[in-house]
Chain A
Amino acid sequence: APRGVWCPACGLAALAPTTQRDVLIALAKQSILSKLRLSDRPNITQPMPRGALLTALHRMYAQRTDVSPGMPRDDSTSHLHPGMGSSTSRSVCLHFHFTQELAGSTEILQATLYLFWAVPGPGTHPVTVRLLQPDPTGLNTTVASETRLEVQRAGWATLDVGQAVQSLFSQGSPRLTVELEVAHDWGSPLLAGHSDSHWPFVAAQARARLPHQIQQR
């Protein structure tokens, strides 16, 4: 260090600027890795292009802040279905929109619906899950499948919706409607109002359907 230059805080000889920089960068690395409980920085084999990733994240966030497709619209306001279950039943509708570019040339390999149940108390709570799809006119919806679950405790539950999503895509309507029907005293079966970390969502594995190669016979 230049003669006579002292580190003002500790009275030791100040480090040469480059040495100080190296020490600080090493300290920053160690500090971040230790707070993330990582022994070393992860090795990313196939880093996704930064631009594509940030676009996807912004789009996902933008959807959530305006239309909130993943969030259950509160259709459950005393929505009684005549002739469906007990007259005291109530239902919640979830609408999942898939982006257009996914709908066309995509083959759905699997799709899973994730729901975070908020149970009103001990015991089992029956819930009917209906997957609805628009009829050819697009004016009404028909029940594509119906599943009856017995929910014992709060937490995440999954449901395979691969078939329903694939048939929606083949019809060219990239929108899945899920109806949850519960007994009236249950209130809302989903964790409402919480931060978006408990919103229902659909995770799908898809494959771009390659244009059919013309087989030379």
Chain B
Amino acid sequence: SIDCRGDSRMCCRQEFFVDFKEIGWEDWIIQPEGYHMNYCAGLCPLHMAGIPGLAASFHTAVLNLIKANSADAAMDSCCVPTQRRPLSLLYYDQHSNIIKTDIPDMIVDACGCT
């Protein structure tokens, strides 16, 4: 996958870290220190459909489908997460119990064009 740089316009992964201390949540969230709320951004013009981050064969298959269906050239595809992982939290609940929980698919590791 591609990480967004300053002026990248194509589909890429934008890193964004939420520091729990900065938002005043460090008293009830024990671990971790923050949340990597990365997200996908960027353009997915036709010739990029199915890349990056997905199998090249998938890309070829998508392009063939588009040619076969002479899809409208104006149609773009979407820049979406292609790999995600859980966010593991250790926190106090409203009864001050210590809870450990894994929230699935909360952290985006890679982005790609559908």
Contact = CB atoms under 8 A, between A and B. Distances in A.
Interface of A: 7-9, 24-25, 27-29, 31-32, 35-36, 38, 41-47, 50, 53-54, 57
Contact of B30 (A27, A29, A46, A54): A54
Contacts of B28: 41-44, 47
A42 B23 contact: no
B49 interface: no
A6 B16 CA distance: 19
Interface of B: 8-10, 16, 18, 23, 25-28, 30-31, 35, 37, 39-43, 79, 87, 89-94, 96, 98, 101, 103, 106
Contacts of A27: 37
A205 B26 CA distance: 27
Given A41-B25, A42-B94, A44-B96, A50 B30 contact: yes
Contact of A47 (B18, B27, B93): B27
Nearest to A46: B96
B42 A8 contact: yes
Interface of chain B, helix or strand or loop or mixed?
strand
B41 A25 contact: no
A25 B103 CA distance: 18
B94 A36 contact: no
B16 A9 contact: no
Given A32-B35, A36-B89, A44-B28, A9 B42 contact: yes
13 contacts: A7-B41, A24-B37, A24-B39, A25-B18, A25-B23, A36-B89, A36-B103, A41-B25, A42-B96, A44-B96, A47-B27, A47-B28, A50-B26
**Closest 9 CB pairs between A and B?**
A42-B94, A28-B18, A35-B103, A9-B41, A28-B37, A47-B27, A8-B9, A8-B42, A44-B28
Contacts of B39: 24
A32 B94 contact: no
Nearest to B79: A9
Given A29-B23, A41-B25, A8 B94 contact: no
A6 to B, nearest CB: 9
Given A25-B18, A53-B30, A31 B41 contact: no
A45 B30 contact: no
B40 A9 contact: yes
